């Protein structure tokens, strides 16, 4: 991940990689509140779904991705439209750097 990037530049292959990426966002000087909100919200959803498949050392699977995507769709009713768009767009951008083992 570059210093000013909010989207990872390295491939994410296990759940722990995602958590490390999220943790790294808080170290950036110029991170915006929308990114912090989206990453925190997604971390909670990923944690929830990941427990169904294993622990944080598990490989990221299509089932895990689908489960998080389903949770995001369900969250549409609890999030303001703008917040839903922020979370969903962040998730879609992150998926470009996820590699299945």
In this prediction the pTM is: 0.85
Over residues 72-100, the mean pLDDT reads 94
- The Cα 44–Cα 58 span in angstroms is 16
Query: What was the pLDDT predicted at 25?
Result: 87
- The Cα 72–Cα 59 span in angstroms is 20
In the chain, DSSP finds a helix count (H) and a strand count (E) of 4, 0
Q: Would you say residue 18 has pLDDT above 90?
A: yes
Q: Which two tokens stand for residue 38?
A: 């989206």
Rg (CA), the chain: 13
Query: What was the pLDDT predicted at 20?
Result: 92
Over residues 68-92, the mean pLDDT reads 96
- The Cα 39–Cα 68 span in angstroms is 13
């Amino acid at each position: 991940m570059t210093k000013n990037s909010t989207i990872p530049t390295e491939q994410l292959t296990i759940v722990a990689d995602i958590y490390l990426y999220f943790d790294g966002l808080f170290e950036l000087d110029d991170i915006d509140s929308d990114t912090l909100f989206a990453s925190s919200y997604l971390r909670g959803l990923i944690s929830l779904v990941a427990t169904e498949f294993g622990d944080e050392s598990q490989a990221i699977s299509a089932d895990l991705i689908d489960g998080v995507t389903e949770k995001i769709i369900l969250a549409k009713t609890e999030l303001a439209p703008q917040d839903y768009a922020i979370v969903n767009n962040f998730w879609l951008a992150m998926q470009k750097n996820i590699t299945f083992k």
